[in-house]
Chains A and B, each alone.
Chain A
């Protein structure tokens, strides 16, 4: 089935960071499979910078520099899956600089998410779990035999692989024991008590005893637990959990169990390949259904990137970290171990104020940036369509269009000079613009 313009725009809102009108035109007329394979082809995405680009700064400044680089990359990236998948993975493996207190470790994790995020979930899980950022964030650096720290063990199961209610408290104890000794070097005499965050396995601090995990008694070690979660007795629950979460992030929040079952079965058959899982999700009938259209609320980062790109802005034109903090989404500082939520999570009064204050501020830049400056002499209907299409909305709801049209009519009549910014300002409040 060939894509029409609204369907192409839908795909690029979900798989990309929102398509521009020329990008959408490129997808117009492709079949679903052709279009999906094109967004999954990341071969021409730009390479990542070296850490040296952010090094030499105070730690929090390095984070800010990464956020700005990241936002600019999202703004300018080709319409492929990489950037959106990064937002998913960052929230799934939530880790905060606020606690890690070492931006370089956060950057290493970021690079690992990009490098392994589209391959085997088992490999990705290992790279992230053994990364120093995660070892510190979930306290496994202090998990030693005889004084187990269960934080990582619990979240590995509850948040990263199988989900709440699918393990016993005794599994948490055994999992923590299996992960003892997998620490960071920390402060040592040899290193003159300087803190060293590198991963280290200390056999003498590892619990080598028998442990019963998921009903299986043996001398469990860390990597074997990941195999058991991914390929062993928990494989079905793991694939169900991950497939559901990927579907909810890319399609809509309420999938039928039968849809998840099929995705999970394919995920297992494809050796837990993440790219193929995303491909499967994007090719479900559900993804293309009317129920999925605008069924996700844009996160603040998605919203800001979408608007900034349309306005020709980059991180140089906006205090992105500050704005994001007001809207509740500072990259590399998720508010909790479970990352950010979806939909209603983003619709608090305070976040809405922050979003509205930002767009209200942006309207004063419409003139300078030559945004929608040619509406004054169009008919209200023509002008309304121009505003709506500026945001690449091709299937607007009746009231959104009517309100923009009526506002334009009144403004043209009574306050002609305000035509340079009011239609743009109210356009950013269209629910379709704030949804994905």
Chain B
């Protein structure tokens, strides 16, 4: 499923900015579409937020938990993670054995762990919890928009401003009223328009680019523009697309995410999803170092590491990764080597701009709520407020409906612009050349005074 809402007003304005006056008559030049790509490539100092959605409700307690704590060991029983192969953090917490690389990054001071995070209004309906974690409105009403979607509503961006990587649709937290999110499949090297090696295709693209230009019916013109834009967009992302990214699950998608950032397409927010955390059954297999949850964490650990090692050092300065799930899991295991839906969970903020450490209070294991769940000690909106205010430079009240105090996790101010790499310079030059070529070509054909 693909889901994208667009703002025609913003878009039309962008298109119209490129209108060119020639011989006294206004001529709409189709190749202005390439301007979007070039203009986007120019902005290299903007901060970027990558959300990683662990879908299904991650067991925060076994992801990073008090593995030596006797209450933990007693409550979790056979599903307790042994501290033997775990990686020590602070405050008596250990990373799951599979999170070796993340623990290393933690020790470098680049991982903030926020504990006890949850929705104070939550019930345990899967559907409603997910809706509330992602909508984050201050009351219990179900909102049609997500928190990042509302940020996008007030932040006009280009085609690649907001990306949902993976081709599985736009996640609810990025859905806004006018927010435009491009859902990018990982088979991007097969996107129509990306292959420019064959002269026949180039002739076709040129014809498609021009159809609808100057049409009296605005929607004929608009559809023509969008078809042209899609060709440009396919060409713009093509350098990031190799066969491996579509075959390698989360790891491939995180590598793709990093490459897209390196391409400087004007991306500000991005989501990558990791499915399978709804571990009612076989969360562990024999012991907690094996089984579904351990495998998922291993994939996550590898993918996060691949992401950061793919980013250029300059881009690493302007990227923060937010790893979250829609809720945690019950402390006491169920009867099928799994855990049922719970409440509080942990959120990670990762990256060079992060001041690493453990934030928030651990929900006391001796004082579970009447359903046997962890008590929430941190409103999830404070985490979003932190990202909004200290990274996306937006007052949290403008998005969350009320003001929430942010956590002192992100370094201020945003880092300086990285230098443009030679790759990017070449790419921008190619785009400019093609644009100029198209423009002259167009004028030759259509302007009587050229």
Are A and B subunits of one complex?
Answer: yes
Identify the A interface with B (CB < 8 A).
Answer: 99, 151, 290, 293-297, 325-328, 330, 333, 335-336, 338, 341, 343-345, 347-354, 356-357, 360, 397-400, 402-404, 406-407, 410-411, 415, 418, 422, 425-426, 429-432, 434-435
Identify the B interface with A (CB < 8 A).
Answer: 1-8, 11, 127, 142, 144, 159, 167, 169, 180, 182-185, 190-193, 200, 203-204, 207-208, 210-224, 226-227, 229-231, 233-234
Sorted nearest first, the 3 A-B pairs with minimum C-beta distance are A348-B4, A356-B192, A431-B223
Q: In chain A, what residue has the closest Cβ to B5?
A: A345
For B200, give its contact among A348, A422, A432 (CB under 8 Å).
Answer: A422
Contact check, B212 vs A335: say whether CB atoms are below 8 A apart: no
Residues of B within 8 A of A350 (CB): 2, 4, 167, 182-185
In the bound complex, CA of A325 to CA of B168 (Å): 10
Given contacts A351-B4, A357-B190, contact A398 B219 (CB under 8 A): no
Residues of B within 8 A of A333 (CB): 1
Greatest chain A CB density within 10 A among B3, B193, B218, B234 is at B3
Contact check, A335 vs B169: say whether CB atoms are below 8 A apart: yes
Contact check, A410 vs B185: say whether CB atoms are below 8 A apart: no
In the bound complex, CA of A136 to CA of B322 (Å): 34
Contact check, B1 vs A294: say whether CB atoms are below 8 A apart: no
In the bound complex, CA of A55 to CA of B2 (Å): 29
Given contacts A294-B217, A397-B220, contact A347 B6 (CB under 8 A): yes
Residues of A within 8 A of B226 (CB): 347, 349, 352
Contact check, B215 vs A429: say whether CB atoms are below 8 A apart: no
Q: In chain B, what residue has the closest Cβ to A407?
A: B207
Given contacts A151-B142, A352-B227, A431-B220, contact A397 B183 (CB under 8 A): no
In the bound complex, CA of A325 to CA of B185 (Å): 12
Contact check, A344 vs B6: say whether CB atoms are below 8 A apart: yes
Residues of B within 8 A of A335 (CB): 1, 3, 169
For B234, give its contact among A151, A341, A348, A353 (CB under 8 Å).
Answer: A353
Contact check, B212 vs A397: say whether CB atoms are below 8 A apart: yes
Residues of A within 8 A of B210 (CB): 399, 402-403
Q: Told that A431-B227, A434-B223 touch, could you supply 11 new A-B pairs with CB distance under 8 A?
A: A99-B127, A295-B219, A335-B169, A350-B185, A356-B192, A357-B192, A399-B214, A403-B210, A404-B211, A422-B204, A435-B223
Contact check, B233 vs A349: say whether CB atoms are below 8 A apart: yes
Contact check, A349 vs B230: say whether CB atoms are below 8 A apart: yes
In the bound complex, CA of A227 to CA of B95 (Å): 60
Contact check, B212 vs A352: say whether CB atoms are below 8 A apart: no
Q: In chain A, what residue has the closest Cβ to B214?
A: A399
Provide the main secondary structure of the chain A interface: helix
Greatest chain A CB density within 10 A among B5, B180, B224, B234 is at B224
Contact check, A338 vs B144: say whether CB atoms are below 8 A apart: yes
Residues of B within 8 A of A345 (CB): 4-6
- Closest Cβ of chain B: how far from A413's Cβ, in Å? 11
Residues of B within 8 A of A399 (CB): 210-215, 224
- Closest Cβ of chain A: how far from B109's Cβ, in Å? 38
Contact check, A404 vs B207: say whether CB atoms are below 8 A apart: yes
Contact check, B1 vs A431: say whether CB atoms are below 8 A apart: no
Contact check, B182 vs A349: say whether CB atoms are below 8 A apart: yes
Residues of A within 8 A of B222 (CB): 297, 344, 347, 431
Residues of A within 8 A of B233 (CB): 349, 353
- Closest Cβ of chain A: how far from B188's Cβ, in Å? 9
Residues of B within 8 A of A425 (CB): 204
For A356, give its contact among B207, B214, B224, B227 (CB under 8 Å).
Answer: B227
Contact check, A397 vs B216: say whether CB atoms are below 8 A apart: yes
In the bound complex, CA of A404 to CA of B211 (Å): 9
Given contacts A352-B227, A353-B234, contact A398 B182 (CB under 8 A): no
Residues of B within 8 A of A295 (CB): 217-219
In the bound complex, CA of A327 to CA of B224 (Å): 17
In the bound complex, CA of A435 to CA of B217 (Å): 11
Given contacts A348-B183, A350-B183, contact A432 B220 (CB under 8 A): yes
Contact check, A296 vs B229: say whether CB atoms are below 8 A apart: no
In the bound complex, CA of A37 to CA of B99 (Å): 68
Given contacts A349-B230, A418-B200, contact A435 B220 (CB under 8 A): yes
- Closest Cβ of chain B: how far from A141's Cβ, in Å? 13
Contact check, A344 vs B8: say whether CB atoms are below 8 A apart: yes
In the bound complex, CA of A403 to CA of B183 (Å): 30
List 18 A-B pairs, Cβ < 8 Å: A295-B218, A296-B219, A325-B1, A328-B4, A348-B4, A351-B4, A352-B227, A353-B193, A357-B191, A357-B192, A399-B214, A404-B207, A404-B211, A422-B200, A422-B204, A429-B211, A429-B227, A431-B212
In the bound complex, CA of A360 to CA of B234 (Å): 14
Residues of A within 8 A of B224 (CB): 399-400, 431
Contact check, A297 vs B223: say whether CB atoms are below 8 A apart: yes
In the bound complex, CA of A326 to CA of B193 (Å): 17
Q: In chain A, what residue has the closest Cβ to B175?
A: A336
Q: In chain A, what residue has the closest Cβ to B12?
A: A344
Residues of B within 8 A of A344 (CB): 5-8, 11, 222
Q: In chain B, what residue has the closest Cβ to A293?
A: B217
In the bound complex, CA of A290 to CA of B217 (Å): 8
Contact check, A356 vs B215: say whether CB atoms are below 8 A apart: no
Greatest chain A CB density within 10 A among B167, B204, B218 is at B204
For A353, give its contact among B127, B192, B220 (CB under 8 Å).
Answer: B192
Contact check, B211 vs A353: say whether CB atoms are below 8 A apart: no
Q: In chain B, what residue has the closest Cβ to A429?
A: B208
Contact check, A343 vs B219: say whether CB atoms are below 8 A apart: yes
Residues of A within 8 A of B223 (CB): 297, 347, 431, 434-435
- Closest Cβ of chain B: how far from A415's Cβ, in Å? 6
Residues of A within 8 A of B212 (CB): 397, 399-400, 431
Contact check, A352 vs B230: say whether CB atoms are below 8 A apart: yes
